[in-house]
Amino acid sequence: MIAVIGLLIGIILGLKLNINIPEQFSPYMSVAILACLDSVFGAIKGGLSKNFQADIFISGFFGNAILAALLAYLGDKLGIPIYIAAVIVFGGRIFDNFAIIRRLLLEKRRKNN
Residue count (the chain) = 113
pLDDT tens per residue across span 49-67: 999 898 998 999 999 999 9
Whole-structure pTM value = 0.79
Ramachandran quadrant class, 106 (left: phi over 0; alpha: psi -120 to 50; beta: rest)? alpha
User: 18 or 105, which is more confident?
Assistant: 105
Above 80 in pLDDT, residue 113? Answer: no
- pLDDT for the residue 25: 85
